[in-house]
Amino acid sequence: MNANSFVSIYDVSKEKIIELLESAKRFEENPNQNLLHGKIVATLFFEPSTRTRLSFETAVNRLGGRVIGFSDASTTSSSKGETLKDTITMVSGYADLIIMRHYLDGAARYASEISPIPIINAGDGSNQHPSQTMLDLYSIFKTQGTLENLNICMVGDLKYGRTVHSLLMALSKFNPTFRFVAPEELKMPLEYKIFCDNNNINYSEHTDLMEVINEADILYMTRVQRERFIDLMEYEKVKNCYILKNKMLDHTKENIKVLHPLPRVNEIETDVDSNPKAYYFQQARNGVFARQAIICDVLGIK
């Protein structure tokens, strides 16, 4: 087992979050640094995720490291029935760091218990995606100058949206005000509302985005995913309810930024893209710097 793994945002303290954000800022100022010279990083993607993999591989390449790995488990021995334990044990003999995406919940935690080298969780099923949370936090920090006392409006699929749950838990350390905007079927799960109650975090629930959009510092949009619905009639009913149009931003605060974990389908109209309040593409770019910070942290490189 390796104590330096980056598995769950719940393990990361407020101090560590701030340290990683400051490190990400330094990487943005100076992205090409030869800190991983001579190191091999394995990217094991048991399920495909183009953006996350390219972002991690860009981060490694900018740090001068080399990458081995696969982007689709169907070409690996796990499709022949090899256990995750055997795959991790084998790869940890080759590389200095494993960055893993897996379709099963908890796979990264288990891998970190087996592996003698650090594991970075690049998404485990519907459970955690902590590097996404770090890049969300970095985007908020960079555009607002702080993480403290912000009004965060989360929109769309708040029930299954793993990114909003992780972001909620991480921001809860910084005295936020949350506005949850979702259709009845996709409301924020009770356990997160209980968490807010227990931690004296101000929140309210809405079905109409216009009720709260003008007080928001951050508008965090998510995709209502078709594959989340058992009943496709339900999907058809709600899929167009939470679409952001450019004119909806007219009376919003000057400092507001629109974030989205991407891929976007139609929940943000394309005319929003040129609005200076839109920030989702820069947000994706920030992922490289946030991931450079995480990689150096788990390897103990200052």
Partner 1 sequence: MNKKELLVAGLQNGTVIDHIPSDRLFKVVSMLKLDTLSNPITIGNNLMSKKSGTKGIIKVTDKYFEKNEIDRIALIAPHAKLNRIANYEVVEKKELELPDELIDIVKCANPKCICNNEPMASRFDVIDKKNIVVKCHYCEKDLQKDDIVLL
The set of catalytic residues is: 51-52, 80, 101, 129
Binding residue (CB under 8 A) for partner 1 from 18, 40, 84, 241: 84
Measured CA to CA, the distance from residue 294 to residue 119 in angstroms comes to: 11
H or E element in which residue 41 lies: strand 40-45
User: Does residue 25 interact with partner 1 by CB under 8 A?
Assistant: no
Contact between residue 112 and residue 1 where contact means Cβ atoms under 8 Å apart: yes
Whichever of 35 and 84 has its CB closer to partner 1, that residue is 84
Judged by CB under 8 A, the residue of 25, 109, 277, 285 near partner 1 is 109
| 277 near partner 1, rule: CB under 8 A | no
Indicate which single residue of 47, 58, 106, 253 sits in contact with partner 1 (rule: CB under 8 A): 106
Query: What tokens were used for 230?
Result: 């058992």
Query: Of the two residues 55 and 166, which places its CB atom closer to partner 1 in the complex?
Result: 166
Residue closer to partner 1, measured from CB, 128 or 133: 128
Helix (H, G, I), strand (E, B) or coil at 18: helix
CB of residue 108 vs partner 1: minimum separation in angstroms?
9
Q: Any contact of residue 82 with partner 1 (CB under 8 A)?
A: no
Query: By CB under 8 A, what part of segment 161-200 binds partner 1?
Result: 191
Region near partner 1 per CB under 8 A, out of 63-71, 106-114, 178-186, 286-294: 106-114
Rounded Cα gap, residues 71 and 196, in angstroms: 37
Report the alpha-carbon distance of residue 33 to residue 61 in Å, rounded: 9
CB of 126 to partner 1, least distance (A): 7
3-state secondary structure at position 155: strand
Nearer residue to partner 1 within complex by CB, 10 or 94: 10
CA–CA gap between residue 94 and residue 3 (Å, rounded)? 19
Cβ–Cβ < 8 Å for 264, 196: no
Phi-psi region of 268 (alpha: psi -120 to 50; beta: other; left: phi over 0): beta
Name the segment binding partner 1 (CB under 8 A); options: 104-112, 195-203, 209-217, 286-294: 104-112
Q: d(Cα 57, Cα 285) in Å, to the nearest integer? A: 13
228 touches partner 1 (CB under 8 A): no
Smallest separation, CB 3 to partner 1 (Å) = 16
Which residues of 156-292 form beta strands (DSSP E)? 177-181, 202-206, 218-221, 257-259
Residue 55 binds to partner 1 (criterion: CB under 8 A): no
Distance CA 20, CA 196 (A): 25
Using the contact rule CB under 8 A, the part of the chain among 41-49, 103-111, 271-279, 280-288 near partner 1 is: 103-111
Q: Which of 14, 85, 226, 247 binds partner 1 (CB under 8 A)?
A: 85
Residue ranges that bind partner 1, judged by CB under 8 A: 8, 10, 83-85, 102-107, 109-110, 124-128, 191
